[in-house]
Amino acid sequence: MRRRLADGVELDDDPTRVDRAEVHRFLSEVSYWAKGRPREVQDRLIDGAARVVGLYDGQRQIGFCRAFSDGVSIAYLAEVYVLEEYRGRRLGEAMVREIVDGGELAGLAWLLHTRDMHGLYRKLGFGRPGERVMERARS
* 134 in a structural domain: no
For residue 52, tell me if it sits in a domain: yes
- Residue 137 belongs to a domain: no
Q: Which residue would you say has higher pLDDT here, 6 or 75?
A: 75
Task: Please check whether residue 65 lies inside any domain of the structure.
Answer: yes
Q: Which domain holds residue 34?
A: 2-123
d(CA 50, CA 60): 23
**48: CB partners within 8 A, 6+ apart:** 68
Q: Given pLDDT bands bounded at 50, 70 and 90, which one contains residue 127?
A: confident
Tell me whether residue 131 is in a domain: no
Which phi and psi (to 5°) does residue 103 adopt? 75, -170
Residue 8: CATH number of its domain: 3.40.630.30
* Domain membership flag for residue 83: yes
Q: For residue range 32-41, list pLDDT tens digits in order.
A: 999 999 999 9
Total tally of structural domains belonging to the chain: 1
Q: Mean pLDDT throughout 2-20?
A: 95
Query: Looking at the domain assignment, is residue 128 inside a domain?
Result: no
Determine the pLDDT at residue 135: 65
* Torsion over CA: 28, 11, 60, 15 (sign): positive
Give pLDDT, residue 34.
95
Across 95-121, average pLDDT? 87
Average pLDDT rounded to a whole number, residues 74-93: 94
pLDDT in tens, 59-77: 999 999 999 999 999 999 9
Residue 44 pLDDT exceeds 70: yes
* pLDDT value at residue 139: 47
Please state which of the ranges 31-35, 56-60, 101-105, 115-119 shows the lowest mean pLDDT.
Answer: 115-119
Which residues touch 82 (CB under 8 Å, ≥6 apart)?
A: 55, 62, 63, 91, 92, 95
Residue 97 covered by a domain = yes
Would you place residue 114 in the very low, low, confident or very high pLDDT band (cuts 50, 70, 90)?
confident
Q: 9-18, 78-87, 118-127: lowest mean pLDDT where? A: 118-127
